[in-house]
Amino acid sequence: MVYIVQNDEEFLEQLAAPGLVVVDFTASWCGPCQRIAPLFDRLSQEYGARGVKFLKVDVDQCQITATNNNVSAMPTFVFFKNRVAIARLQGADPNALTAKLKELVESNETLASAASDSPVSGYLDLSSFINQSQSECLNESDTNNLKHALLAGSGFYLESDCDEQLIINLAFNQPVKLHSLKLLAPAENGPKSIKLFINQPRTLDFDQATSMEAVQKIDVDCNDLVNSTPIPLRFVKFQNVQNLIMFVENNQNNSEVTRIDNISFIGSPINATNMSDFKRTTGKKGESH
């Protein structure tokens, strides 16, 4: 059965379902969306009994949700687990949709439970709480930018441009508590020395980041990068985080280019999400597609 999402707040509620959640970002005026809709319905009947939840989101009714999930064309199918986007497909390709769903369901069923995805018991992966439209990175490559590192499983990555240093400013949709940081990167040129700052009024420049005292300094082990092992944070210092700045000072082999495949945080939101706190940052109503 396909659940029709009525608004942005309802989407967040439905996304909290355990297990795999498949979201069809669609529009009433989109011809390809209408053609693939019967297949989406059939797949929901086949896989619903195996614990998969199917959501349909009209991008005109849920524009904030569409923007936060980088939906620019319809249909787009995004696959979530524990609120984290783990895969996506764009376009009305029946074979690709069927194959990807089969692959993810079979992979999911090899796990002991949905909760086993979180390496820290009692906490969530907070990737879906990062507001990408209000986040930025200084010295990022034009082709390999921050958004790539915030989309798990995309196969893309963030890469530095002029030298090895990066300043990454991540904004959260609501205040959160941060327990640990996870980085996926190559052992050769993944980040090594990192300084963390929280709740800054604006993005620091490189001189400021170098001279200011950090909330925490981290010397990253290359094994933690390769295995994406949670790096503990000083939990008491990260209790009410609205934005976090990561200053990557250097990388593992001191080369000119630093690469990060994925950035994520383990923790918990402080309060229930209030959709009135969200603000449109670009474009006008109806322009998200």
The token pair at 254 is 């001191």
The answer to whether 11 touches 5, Cβ cutoff 8 Å, is yes
DSSP 130: B
Helix pair angle (94-108, 31-48), 10° resolution: 30
In this structure, the number of other CB atoms found within 10 A of the CB of residue 147 comes to: 16
The residue with tokens 């640990």 is: 180
Q: Which letter does DSSP use for residue 121 in this model?
A: T
Cα(160)–Cα(285) distance, rounded to whole angstroms? 34
30 assigned to active site: yes
Evaluate whether 214 touches 164 at the Cβ level (below 8 Å): no
- 30, 62, 162, 222: the active-site residue: 30
User: Is 139 within 8 Å of 235 (Cβ atoms)?
Assistant: no
Asked if 212 and 247 count as a contact pair (C-beta separation under 8 A), the reply is: no
DSSP state of 140: B
* Phi, psi values for residue 107, rounded to 5°: -65, -40
What spatial distance separates the first Cα and last Cα of the chain, rounded to whole Å? 26
Known catalytic residue at 33: yes
In sequence order, the 6+-apart residues with CB closer than 8 A to the CB of 61 are 5, 6, 7
- Report the catalytic residues: 30, 33
